[in-house]
């Protein structure tokens, strides 16, 4: 459930009509609902209430500092994958001891920065990485809590670009080699084993792959404990999917996911960490856009909107579906017409939807792309020299611009011409 509903004939974000935001900020613009973000965070928190746990929001999904502050103030931890994300979380006031650091390619500089500024745990993904971290920690005279991300070789049954738990993915250490890797860590100064980490993919709509992976983690916990390692935390990753098309069957909800976790690893007495991103932010954000032209083509009609693939790349990159709805509520039973909904970028891939049925719509009408809160703004670029679009946070009847639209001058002035060309 989210807080983007039609009221008095217009789509609202909580108590604010999207027409008002479009008037005040212009389009295209990302709009987030604070109530929805908090609701989703709380669902995970409640789903794990049976034991000690920390919900570490995956910052990569939507990384605006205002969103991180909202969630952090509610008690969330953060899962970060770069120094940039770490700095954002800290700028949002999240203490280091609530931040976990994931990723296959942490650099020495990044390690140094987080160790100096405070980190809850580092999730290691390879032997070269653990040796480097040991060196950095020893130089700084600290002992850093670590887990090893194991690759359980489980098929997450999701889009191949976002599956991470098969043995041919670049992530983690094969679970079959976990014992020898943990044995080596035990000999390395500066590292303190606290647990095991796993993440098998994103947009999972079936709980069975989670169950299979977590069962393997439970077995491994027993084996590693018998080897003498202290396993007190399990980081079980993110990945629970969301309903992108309202017409489809809804994926499992956090409470069902929490039950699977309890069934598979609840008996181990570990503190549970999870790293959800999409489920917290996805349906808490929309991309608000305006139509520029209605173009009648041969055999198909095009709705050309002012958002483009640089603003929301998911349809172009993964063939992802987003529900697309008019902001003015269509009259019941109104006749629809099929459109290809496209942006202004000079690539055929700049297509958001093909043959999508829409109620009557003309130039300058407002349209909302639903479920755009996760991996929307966070993956945007300035391709075609289109400045990054603004972000707005709504809470109740108030809204604030949480990232302004840059001017063209700001965008262009970041470039510089070398002296020999002057
Ligand atoms: N933890 C780790 C280690 C991850 O790699 C990810 C996502 C998450 C947590 C959060 O997963 P979530 O709960 O959001 O599914 N850009 C793609 C999604 C990439 C996901 C990458 N890793 C998309 O737009 O669908």
CB 196 less than 6 A from any atom of ligand 1: no
* Domain annotation covers residue 395: yes
State the CB neighbour count (10 A cutoff) for residue 261: 22
Q: Extract the runs of DSSP E, i.e. beta strands, from 306-390.
A: 324-326, 337-342, 351-358, 366-369
- Do both 251 and 319 map to the same domain? no
Predicted complex ipTM: 0.99
Annotated binding site for pyridoxal 5'-phosphate: 239, 275-278, 375
Candidates 1, 226, 249, 346; catalytic one: 346
CB 317 less than 6 A from any atom of ligand 1: no
- Do both 140 and 225 map to the same domain? yes
- Do both 333 and 266 map to the same domain? no
* Domain annotation covers residue 422: no
- Do both 270 and 290 map to the same domain? no
Tell me, what CATH number does 408's domain have?
2.40.37.10
Segment 52-111, tens digit of pLDDT: 999 999 999 999 999 999 999 999 999 999 999 999 999 999 999 999 999 999 999 999
CB 291 less than 6 A from any atom of ligand 1: no
Q: 243, 274, 305: which is the final residue of a domain?
A: 274
Nearest to 56 by CA among 68, 64, 65: 68
pLDDT at 158: 83
- Strand, helix or coil for residue 281: helix
- Do both 266 and 398 map to the same domain? no
Which residues, other chains included, contact 127 with Cβ-Cβ below 8 Å and sequence gap of 6+? Answer: 173, 181, 184
CA separation for the pair 341, 315 (Å, rounded)? 11
pTM equals: 0.97
- Do both 397 and 370 map to the same domain? yes
Token pair in block for residue 166: 């098969």
pLDDT at 246: 82
- Do both 259 and 150 map to the same domain? yes
For residue 217, CA distances in Å to 48, 157, 240, 263 come to 17, 19, 18, 13
CA separation for the pair 185, 179 (Å, rounded)? 10
For residue 34, CA distances in Å to 4, 16, 55, 162 come to 11, 12, 17, 27
* Domain annotation covers residue 62: no
Residue whose Cα lies nearest atom 6 of ligand 1: it is 238
CA separation for the pair 190, 187 (Å, rounded)? 10
- Do both 140 and 269 map to the same domain? yes
275 C-alpha to center of ligand 1: Å?
9
Categorize the per-residue pLDDT at 267 as very low, low, confident or very high, splitting at 50, 70 and 90. Answer: very high
Tell me, what CATH number does 211's domain have?
3.20.20.10
- Do both 240 and 304 map to the same domain? no
* Domain annotation covers residue 200: yes
Which single residue is written with the structure tokens 């670029």?
Answer: 381
Burial 231-253, CB ≥16 within 10 A → b, else e: bbbbbbbbbbbbbbeeeeeebbe
- Do both 392 and 288 map to the same domain? yes
* Domain annotation covers residue 13: yes
Pairing state of beta strands 10-13 and 16-17? antiparallel
> Which residues on adjacent β-strands are paired with residue 304?
293, 342
Q: 274, 306, 334: which is the final residue of a domain?
A: 274
383 C-alpha to center of ligand 1: Å?
23
- Do both 260 and 310 map to the same domain? no
* Domain annotation covers residue 94: no
88 C-alpha to center of ligand 1: Å?
18
Categorize the per-residue pLDDT at 283 as very low, low, confident or very high, splitting at 50, 70 and 90. Answer: very high
Tell me the Ramachandran region of residue 225: left when phi exceeds 0, alpha when psi lies from -120 to 50, beta otherwise.
Answer: alpha
Q: 239, 256, 274: which is the final residue of a domain?
A: 274
* Domain annotation covers residue 338: yes
CA separation for the pair 98, 2 (Å, rounded)? 27
CB 367 less than 6 A from any atom of ligand 1: no
346 is catalytic: yes
Annotated binding site for substrate: 278, 314, 318, 347, 375
CB 61 less than 6 A from any atom of ligand 1: yes
Q: Is the pLDDT of residue 167 over 80?
A: no
- Quote the domain boundaries for residue 261: 103-274
CA separation for the pair 254, 402 (Å, rounded)? 28
CA separation for the pair 80, 58 (Å, rounded)? 6
- Do both 20 and 138 map to the same domain? no
Mean pLDDT of 147-173: 86
Residue 313 alpha carbon, nearest atom of ligand 1: 24
* Domain annotation covers residue 161: yes
Count of structural domains, the chain: 2
**Three-state secondary structure of 381-419:** CCHHHCCCCCEEEEECCEEEEEECCCCHHHHHCCCCCCH
Categorize the per-residue pLDDT at 359 as very low, low, confident or very high, splitting at 50, 70 and 90. Answer: very high
Probe residue for ligand 1, chosen from 204, 207, 238 as the CB with the greatest number of ligand atoms within 8 Å: 238
């Amino acid at each position: 459930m989210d807080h983007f509903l039609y009221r008095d004939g217009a789509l609202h974000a909580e108590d604010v009509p999207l027409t008002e935001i479009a008037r005040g900020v212009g389009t295209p613009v990302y709009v987030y609902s604070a109530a929805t973000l908090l609701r989703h965070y709380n669902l995970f928190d409640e789903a794990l209430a049976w034991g000690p746990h920390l919900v570490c929001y995956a910052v990569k999904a939507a990384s605006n500092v205002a969103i991180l502050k909202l969630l952090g103030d509610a008690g969330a931890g953060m899962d970060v994958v770069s120094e940039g994300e770490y700095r954002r979380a800290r700028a949002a006031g999240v203490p280091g001891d609530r931040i976990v650091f994931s990723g296959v390619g942490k650099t020495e500089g990044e390690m140094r920065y987080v160790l100096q500024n405070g980190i809850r745990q580092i999730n290691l993904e390879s032997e070269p990485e653990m040796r480097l971290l040991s060196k950095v920690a020893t130089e700084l005279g600290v002992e850093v809590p670590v887990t090893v991300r194991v690759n359980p070789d489980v098929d997450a049954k999701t889009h191949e670009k976002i599956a991470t738990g098969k043995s041919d993915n670049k992530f983690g250490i094969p679970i079959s080699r976990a014992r020898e890797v943990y044995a080596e860590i035990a000999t390395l100064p500066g590292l303190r084993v606290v647990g095991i980490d796993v993440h098998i993919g994103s947009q999972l709509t079936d709980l069975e792959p989670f169950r299979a992976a977590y069962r393997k983690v439970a077995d491994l916990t027993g084996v590693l404990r018998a080897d003498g390692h202290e396993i007190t935390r399990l980081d079980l990753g993110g990945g629970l999917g969301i309903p992108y098309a309202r017409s489809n069957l809804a994926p499992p909800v956090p409470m069902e996911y929490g039950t699977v976790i309890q069934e598979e690893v609840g008996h181990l007495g570990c503190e549970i960490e999870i790293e959800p991103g999409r489920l917290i932010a996805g349906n808490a954000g929309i991309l608000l856009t305006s139509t520029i032209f209605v173009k009648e083509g041969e055999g198909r009609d095009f709705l050309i909107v002012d958002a483009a693939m640089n603003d929301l790349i998911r349809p172009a990159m993964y063939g992802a579906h987003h529900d697309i709805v008019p902001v003015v509520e269509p009259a019941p039973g109104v006749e629809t017409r099929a459109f290809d909904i496209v942006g202004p970028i000079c690539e055929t891939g700049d297509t958001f939807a093909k043959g999508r049925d829409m109620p009557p719509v003309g130039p300058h009408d407002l349209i909302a792309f639903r479920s755009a809160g996760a991996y929307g703004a966070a993956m945007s670029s300035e391709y075609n020299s289109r400045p990054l679009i603004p972000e707005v946070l709504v809470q109740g009847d108030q809204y604030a611009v949480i990232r302004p639209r840059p001017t063209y001058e700001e965008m262009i002035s970041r470039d510089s011409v070398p002296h020999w060309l002057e």
